[in-house]
Amino acid sequence: MAEGPGAPPASRMASDDAPHAAPEPTDAPFPVPESDEELLAQCRVETFRAGGPGGQHQNTTESGVRLVHLPTGVRAVAREERSQHRNRALALERLRNRLEKRNERRKPRVPTKVPISQKRRRLDAKRRKGDSKRLRRPPDPDRE
């Protein structure tokens, strides 16, 4: 195998083994704290340059906010506003919504059965269709 500055690394770390990988979300519901301070205490707050419209102010200040909920690995990002404080509030609101949506339990689907009358109607329609197709065929010479 080639070695040097342009060579690929000898061994690659699987994405599952990465030290920064978020924990796998489980099906168990996670209690969402009522206050923003408690929720923020469970998060890693990352700031970054938001970019986009907003001019030099947005390009030079780290006003974008990314919240990573450490127990679940759920992320929320806000970079719309020029203010880091407003973006943090937006990201918190989005994170809270995602956590609540994650905790929702979907109602199990109740399997339904096709009524006998509908099965009979479907079979009759198929029979009629087959009969009309059979009538379109040319006559069979062996039968005459």
Global pTM?
0.56
> Are 92 and 40 within 8 A, CB to CB?
yes
User: Which amino acid is residue 41, in one-letter code?
Assistant: A
Compare 39 and 56 and report the one with higher pLDDT: 39
Query: pLDDT digit string (tens) for 104-117?
Result: 888 899 999 999 99
Taken in order of first residue, the domains within the chain and their CATH numbers are 27-103 (3.30.160.20)
Average pLDDT of 114-133?
A: 96
Query: pLDDT digit string (tens) for 20-31?
Result: 444 444 556 778
Task: Enumerate the β-bridge partners of residue 76.
Answer: 67
CA distance linking residue 113 with residue 122, whole number of Å: 14
